[in-house]
Structure 1
Amino acid sequence: MKRIILVSSLALLCAFHSQAQEVENPLGKSNQEWLDRDWPVTDTLVFDLPNESTLILYFNNTEFSARDLEEEFEPLLQKATDFPEFKNISYRLNKNFAPTSLKNVKYQLEKKYVPYVDSLEMTFPVGLDFTGGDFTPVVGFRAHLNWRNFSLGGSVTNTIYFPERIEKNIKVNSSWFVNAEFAWEFGNLDGPRRNTIGIGYLVNQDNSQLFSGTTLQAFYNRKLNKNISIQVGVIGTENLKTFYPTIGIRFW
């Protein structure tokens, strides 16, 4: 990225209205009329790229400042090495419609023009669940192959149960689940994939004192931040005749 130009002139506004249909994020007719009436274009920010292409942003200066937009888009455009050569690409910015929001425009640019490298993510989550009236610590290992918006993988988790003491001895009972998982985060490339669903199978049925017979679990996990998540689910045991709701917290 070599040059940034801010233009604010009547001639530019006329040019915009003659090319309004060429923006990458047009609105429906009624919303477009509403946008043009209440938040008309007052300024245009032009990013000149090294491959002789340009990114053009149309905006209203009561909503955005050129300086703030430069800070938002400069780091993104430095990574956008798949941006086509000798091409002008335009976006309209407005806070009141999802297609024209700053978040969505940045998302579209990153999705289309920033190269993405698939990665393998391995973590060791620990946590605490409330399962069928008992608090059960959970530890495990998780591996996911990450793509841009989603990941596929699995985990092995141990639901730990402490039965009542016998002769004052504390006994630890383990229930090992093997889980298949799918995680996703559409519309946001800045943070971790915050949504995960999974289904698991209890592999040590004969040794578990908490569960018996064929036992399956299904769960949904929602990340609150990079290191903490909330998980809810249900476990079907005794050959799927008895079901326990579960809720818990995970630390990654």
Structure 2
Amino acid sequence: MKRLTLLTGIAMLFCQLATAQEIENKPFGDYLEKLNEDSPVTDTLVFDFPNDGKLLLLFNNTEYELSDLEEKFGPVLKKTTAFPEFKTLIYRLSEDYPQTKVDAVILDLERNYLPFVDQLILDAIIGMDYTGGDFTPEIGARVKFNFRKFGIGGSVTNKIYFPDRIDGNVKVNSNWFANLEYSWDRSDPKSNQGNMFGVGILFNESKSQLFTGTTMQVFYKRRVSKDISIQVGIISTENFKTFYPTIGIRFW
């Protein structure tokens, strides 16, 4: 990868203003103009790629050292090899706004330009919920298509209910749901496991002892560690007359 560093003042400020609409991480509203007034562009760092693409970083030299930026972006650009051909990507750097911070720009480059192969993923589902006053273990299976910025798929889950004992006998009541799921993760360029939203419908062939009539659920799952997620949701039953809030844990 060939690097070219340009240090300019007024000329590059003019360039930056002229290309303001093309900045990939432009702050909202008139904040870019405010940023240029408070901390004008004095320097640039340009990376040239073999496919005639370029990465142009605009910054103020009182906020960043050129050598530090080269050190931070160099290793990232060796991995992010899926840059578009014949196009210049322009990023404004400043620690004043979330999307212009160096770490945010690096994450954006990784999410957009790391080589990525679409995947078909099969998962097992194991967890425990608190549903309407009862603890309900949940097991199931999931199939998901994992794309660069999101995942979409479906699952079949069994919310297991243990009714009161009769004559000392323990009975297990299965409650099978078919679910559609959408997942995303803005903080991890290699995964879409961080967040999931889903909606499902009960399709039991045998009578459920926990739900009656048309029963549907919606849920949101948030990954809190490598192997654990927290899931919250709500289940409507009795033809949408009764609602049960749910909260639980899922093991990856």
Taking structure 2 as the reference length, what is the TM-score of the superposition? 0.82
Could you say what the CA RMSD is over the residues aligned between the two structures, in angstroms?
Answer: 2.9
Q: 1:22 aligns with which of 19, 24, 32?
A: 19
> Are the structure 2 counterparts of residues 213 and 28 from structure 1 closer, same or farther at C-alpha, using a change threshold of 3 Å?
closer
CA contact (8 A) 2:111 2:190 kept: no
Structure 1 window deviating more from structure 2 (176-185 vs 187-196): it is 187-196
Counterpart in the other structure of 2:60: 60
Gap change, CA 1:19 and 1:242, over 3 Å in 2: same
Structure 2, unaligned runs of 5 or more: none
Task: From the superposition, tell whether residues 160 and 65 of structure 1 become closer, same or farther in structure 2 (CA, over 3 Å).
Answer: farther
Q: Deviations over 1:194-235 (max 9, x none)?
A: 332222122225343222333221212222244322222111
The aligned counterpart of 1:13 is 9
How many aligned positions are there? 248
Secondary structure, aligned partner of 1:174: coil
Alpha-carbon offset, residue 163 of structure 1? 1.8
- Counterpart contact for 1:55–1:88, Cα < 8 Å: yes
Distance in 2 between residues matched to 1:241 and 1:28, nearest whole Å = 43
Q: 1:218 to 1:14 in 2, by over 3 A?
A: same
Contact 2:13-2:42 within 8 A present in 1 as well:
no
Residues 66 and 225 from structure 1, CA distance in 2 versus in 1: closer, same or farther, beyond 3 angstroms?
Answer: farther
1:218 and 2:214 are equivalent in the alignment: no
Post-superposition shift, 1:16?
A: 1.0
Deviation larger for 144-153 or 187-196? 187-196
1:131 counterpart = 2:131:
yes
TM-score with structure 1 length normalisation? 0.82
After TM superposition, give the deviation of residue 30 of structure 1 in Å: 4.4
Q: Aligned equivalents of 1:247 and 1:2: distance in 2?
A: 52
The one-letter code matched in structure 1 to 2:236 is G
8 Å contact 1:104–1:187 — kept in the other structure? no
Q: Deviations over 1:97-130 (max 9, x none)?
A: 3443335533554465444321112221222111
Find the residue that maps to 1:196 and give its secondary structure: strand
Partner residue, 1:31: 31
- Say whether the 8 Å CA contact 2:107–2:189 is kept in structure 1: yes
Shift of residue 173, structure 1, vs aligned partner = 2.2
Name the amino acid aligned to 1:22.
T
Larger mean CA deviation between 38-47 and 140-149 belongs to 38-47
- CA spacing shift, 1:89–1:237, aligned 2, 3 Å: closer
CA distance in 2, matches of 1:211, 1:147: 35
- Specify the SS of the correspondent of 2:121: strand
Aligned 8 A contact 1:45 1:56 in 2: yes
Worse-matched range after superposition: 131-140 or 161-170: 161-170
How much has 1:27 moved relative to structure 2? 5.3
- Of 175-184 and 34-43, deviating more is 34-43
Deviation at 1:57, TM superposition (A): 1.3
Residues 151 and 182 in structure 2, CA contact (< 8 A), matched pair in contact too: yes
Percent identity of equivalent pairs? 51
Give unmatched runs, 5+ long, in structure 1.
none
Looking at structure 2, the residues matched to 235 and 27 of structure 1 have their Cα atoms a distance apart, in angstroms, of 39
